[in-house]
């Protein structure tokens, strides 16, 4: 049972990292000025 719990925690952690990366990517891909891209790319993850 401990193996399943550990695998579940690892999967949740990796999914959260993917979510943070995708939000940062989205922020930098917005069609706006460079300042807006940096602000959205960094603050969207907060």
Burial class (CB in 10 A: 0-12, 13-18, 19+), 3: exposed
- What is residue 45's predicted lDDT score, i.e. its pLDDT? 72
Is the CB of residue 45 less than 8 Å from the CB of residue 24?
yes
pLDDT, tens digit, for every residue of 1-46? 999 999 999 999 999 999 999 988 888 888 888 888 888 888 877 7
Alpha helices, DSSP H only, in the chain? 2-29, 34-43
Selection from 24, 23, 19 nearest residue 11 by Cα:
19
- What is residue 2's predicted lDDT score, i.e. its pLDDT? 95
What is the value of pTM for the model shown? Answer: 0.73
């Amino acid at each position: 049972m401990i193996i399943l719990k550990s695998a579940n925690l690892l999967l949740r952690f990796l999914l959260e990292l993917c979510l943070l990366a995708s939000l940062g990517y989205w922020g930098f891909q917005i069609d706006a000025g460079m300042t807006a891209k940096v602000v959205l790319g960094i603050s969207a993850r907060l």
